[in-house]
Amino acid sequence: MSNVEHEVENGSSLLKGIFIGSLIGAAAALLFAPKPGREMRSDLSDKLSQATDKTKEVAGAVTDKTKAIATTVGEKATDLASTVSDKASDIYTTVSDSKQQIAATLQEAGSKIGDTVSEASSNVSSDVKDASKDVADEAKASSKEVANQAKDAKEDVKSSYKSNY
């Protein structure tokens, strides 16, 4: 067999095909049309209202979670500031006590000045290191806790969003 293309004999065959296809398409549209125009617009309006309400709900949930996280961060920052203040006060007290010990030692014996200064300096250094470590540890813990809460809030918003849509 040869591959010969069949030519259209005249333009009327093409017009007949277009006309028949149009009739079939119009009949299918009438048979499968879901609802009249007014009813369709009403349904679309209802769906739009529902989508708007859901969006407002999600926005409200996000706002609530954000406020809760902000409150937690504020509380943690206040706690951390309090801890830093307490540690600074402890350091000041330690330095003050060490200063008084040094003055008393100077009055008692001039020969022991070097040993006493070294001891007081070591105590202050140790207290400063301990206080710095305590503050750093508490800051890390607070940071991790806030990060976990933010992650949980993110997951809650995601799951809330997915369950709503």
Domain positions in the chain: 56-164
Mean pLDDT, to the nearest integer, of 133-150? 84
Give tens-digit pLDDT for 18-49. Answer: 878 877 876 666 556 666 667 756 765 776 67
Would you place residue 8 in the very low, low, confident or very high pLDDT band (cuts 50, 70, 90)? very low
CA–CA dist 116, 97 (Å, integer): 13
- Cα torsion through 12, 17, 18, 21, rounded to 10: 160
The pLDDT of residue 130 is 84
User: Cα–Cα distances in Å, from 83 out to 73, 121, 135, 148?
Assistant: 15, 23, 7, 22
